[in-house]
Amino acid sequence: MGKVKVGVLGATGSVGQRFIQLLENHEYFEVVALGASDKSAGNLYKDVMKSRWKVSSKIPDYAANMKITRCTPKETPGVDLVFSGLDSDVAGEVETEYAQAGVMVISNSKNHRTDKDVPILSAEVNSEQLKVLEAQKTKGKIITNSNCTIMGVTITLKPLLDAYGIESVFIVSMQAISGAGYPGVPSLDILGNVVPHIGGEEEKVEMEPQKCLGKVSGGKIVPANFKISAHCNRVPVIDGHTVCVSVKLKKKTTVEKIKKLWAEFSGEPQKLKLPSAPLQVIDYREEIDRPQPRLDLMNGNGMTTTVGRLRPDPLFDFKYVVLSHNTIRGAAGAAILNAELVYKKGYLRVK
């Protein structure tokens, strides 16, 4: 029995490149289509990417000699699932078109994240939200993953929410430049500098975790009921978002109990032994100055969330620091893990 035939939409962009890298020799999926803009369509991937491939490993052979197509179901026949790394100005429409054509859409774009029947799926956190897919009227279903900044944070909050309940969360991010794509942030703006603003980011950070941590009730997702305040900053780091978190809980607990919860936290991806699932979902570092992007970025092949500095907070209950790889765990890797989950759980109908 063969692999699932998949396509990558937005294949020339930053997230698309990661998809192509991470899908090389994948156990379940075979990439048979690379979709991009009209300008690139018709050309070999390697020719278009000559000076645009920015991942620090070579273009995988399977992709190098593939011809790019446009992002429409007609031009990518035979795919059962697409990974979308499209820009948000086109993602909404294109993804809907694929869903209508009966193709499952695993999207990294923000466009459908606020739809009531579209889960922001974080495979270890809320696989039960897959139930709401039924409510989607299209034949193909759309699944999104969360914004890169809150991916790791939400994972650390999940066991706290289940065990103690959450009152409020304070988040300050120091985000890597790769989050802005390519060409993205001009070097004159960020070299030796901090930019205390990222367009639209704080809004997402203050809203997505609650939906991701919500419950399904009456076929709909009911967001968790707590407030978040966020400051988002850009710093001169290539990959890896570092986030300072303070959290107020509903019940009393201790630093040691939280560490234990985190150490033991795992979800369906671990049970099902999905190919992209990290063995350790949350890795707590005892050193006083961790996590750090340079040292902890590739923990669990970029899929583990690294945490450190858990300590009491004078205003909230606890404070800690979270690092996750923004283009792997926070984007392409998370989307692939989501696809593995829906495939193994039988949500994906292969033609």
Identify residue 180 by its one-letter amino acid code. Answer: A
Q: Clarify whether 241 is annotated catalytic.
A: yes
Distance in angstroms (rounded) separating the CA atoms of residues 328 and 10: 16
Task: Name which of 64 and 133 has its Cβ closer to a copy of itself.
Answer: 64
Residue closer to a copy of itself (CB basis): 88 or 229: 229
Closer of 142 and 174 to a copy of itself (Cβ): 174
DSSP assignment of 228-276 equals EEEEEEE-S-SS-EEEEEEEEESS---HHHHHHHHHH---HHHHTT-TT
Assess contact for 308 and 287: CB atoms under 8 A: yes
Residues contributing to the site for a copy of itself (CB under 8 A):
50-51, 54, 56-58, 168, 170, 172, 174, 177-178, 182-197, 206, 227-229, 231, 233, 235-238, 242, 244, 246, 287-299, 308-309, 313-316, 319, 321
CB 289, min distance to a copy of itself, A: 4
325 is catalytic: no
**Angle separating helix axes 333-344 and 14-22, nearest 10 degrees:** 50
Closest CA relative to residue 217, chosen from 123, 116, 125: 116
In sequence order, the β-bridge partners of residue 127 are none
The CA distance from 122 to 284, in Å, is 19
Residue of 71, 112, 241, 325 with catalytic role = 241
Annotated catalytic residue within 71, 112, 148, 212 = 148
Handedness of CA 9, 15, 21, 24 (dihedral sign): negative
User: Whose Cβ is closer to a copy of itself: residue 197's or residue 273's?
Assistant: 197
* Identity of the residue, 141 or 325, whose beta carbon is nearer to a copy of itself in the bound complex: 325
Asked if 142 contacts 112 with a C-beta cutoff of 8 angstroms, the reply is yes
Sign of CA dihedral 82, 329, 143, 95: negative
From the list 112, 113, 90, the residue with the least C-alpha distance to 35 is: 90
By DSSP bridging, strand 166-175 and strand 227-234 are: parallel
Q: How far is the CB of 28 from a copy of itself (least distance, A)?
A: 27
Residue closer to a copy of itself by CB (options 18, 141) is: 18
Catalytically active residues are 148, 241
